[in-house]
Amino acid sequence: MLTGLVASSALFAAIGAVAHSTGGHVDHTHAAHSRLPGRWYQEPDNKVEKLFRRFSDDGTQYAEVGGEEWMAAFPTGIPDVNATPKEWIDALNVAVQAGKIPNIPPSTASTQTNPVYPDGMDPNGPEICSATYKCRTDREIWDAPDGVLGISFDDGPYEGTEMLLEYIGANHVPTTHFLIGSYIRMNPTAFEAIRDNGGDLAVHTYTHRYTTSLSNEEVVAELGWTMEIIRNSTGGRIPKFWRPPYGDSDNRVTAIAREVFGLTTIIWNQDTEDWSLTTGGTTPQAINASMTEWLNGPKSPGLVILEHELSTMSVQAFIDAYPVMQSTGWNIQSVVSIYGDSPYQNAPAGLDGEVKAASVVPSGNDSGSNTGDDHGSSSAAPESVSTSASAPPSTGTG
């Protein structure tokens, strides 16, 4: 989702390019880039910054965010599965042996195609139930409750983050940030600004790949390292929610997230396509028209709108729409707060309150044991499946 933003760095060569196009979209390359230019917040050693940067922690002495020790603790690009912590792989193996992870082969995902499964397997069938094809189960969240509008932004910290934080801070907008782990590592100051702004932090994988195309071990690495860099940078807080890049998940991937890490999957039910503003794939006028239609339309179900903090253009599209959100009678909430008291498995929402020391893998490998909600159920088979043979694949990029 970063086509045309900045020149690729050396990290781009390490990660590679992952391209995506569905439903007639223009080709969209999502690549990792270098740190954001300059410092747009107070330097970490600034006296004012030290005075106001306050948040509770779990009592562990963590390395300074952005320091050499902190940087060295996390992958520089696509995680090496051979370097995955044994605890995570052990938890995966326990879940597989218990029959909690469906034995679904990885898909093939490439430029200008939707994920394709081998041997003619039906992505809309109950065995696979691919979210890309808009197959739904009770194990994912797609809709907000009636009358509720869930706010969230994908792909931070990145170029639109400063502008977004300034606006949501001034207007007290409740927000969820679905964060890319490698971007946190590359842009630690921007991440700290997100954290200190008090928004809810959630997982968007480490390098933004199609998760259904990955092996079980690769899915574990993408989720685990993102959770770990968030935990190490927030005083020990462990996220409870994640959103798959491109909306690309299925029964296998959703089960890994839930059973290994206690994560609940959130998709969306409306897509602004704002990621393509910088490439000419859409326009502010088109987004305004869609927002006007959705916000003035029925309030059942509630709205979960896909938006991004990738660029100032995508953030401006939200800023233009927010007064309409307020004036049309929606109950505006951070999307993860709709489904639980906290975005974290071991701490209350916000920057205060007790943080219980914990691993990103729930203790005893009891899946969902940290979540405290119904979405942490351990059954691998979905309770119900909603599919539509005529429904187009998901057009969002996530």
- CATH number, residue 75: 3.20.20.370
Residue 267 is assigned to a structural domain of this protein = yes
Residue 29 is assigned to a structural domain of this protein = no
DSSP category for residue 239: B
What is the mean predicted confidence (pLDDT) over 70-88?
98
Q: So what's the pLDDT on residue 111? A: 60
User: Higher-confidence residue: 323 or 396?
Assistant: 323
Residue 23 is assigned to a structural domain of this protein = no
Residue 150 is assigned to a structural domain of this protein = yes
The total domain count for the chain is: 1
Which helix (H) or strand (E) segment holds residue 151: the answer is strand 148-156
Q: Give the number of other CB atoms < 10 A from CB of residue 250.
A: 26
* Contact status, residue 32 vs residue 74, Cβ threshold 8 Å: no
What's this model's pTM, rounded to 2 decimal places?
0.84
User: Higher-confidence residue: 323 or 367?
Assistant: 323
Residue 133 is assigned to a structural domain of this protein = yes
Task: Convert the pLDDT of each residue in 66-75 to its tens digit.
Answer: 999 999 999 9
Residue 41 is assigned to a structural domain of this protein = no
Residue 181 is assigned to a structural domain of this protein = yes
Instruction: Give me the domain span that covers residue 60.
Output: 51-386
CA-based R_g, the chain, Å? 20
What residues does 153 pair with on adjacent strands? 177
Residue 36 is assigned to a structural domain of this protein = no
Q: Considering the candidates 20, 30, 177, 308, report the single residue annotated as catalytic.
A: 308
The answer to whether 154 is a known catalytic residue is yes
Q: Considering the candidates 58, 154, 200, 274, report the single residue annotated as catalytic.
A: 154
Which helix (H) or strand (E) segment holds residue 304: the answer is strand 303-306
Task: Convert the pLDDT of each residue in 112-123 to its tens digit.
Answer: 678 999 988 999
CA distances (Å), origin 248, targets 116, 140, 211, 270, 293: 11, 12, 6, 15, 26
* Cα 291 from Cα 283, distance rounded (Å): 12
The reply to whether omega before 157 is within 30° of 0 (cis) is yes
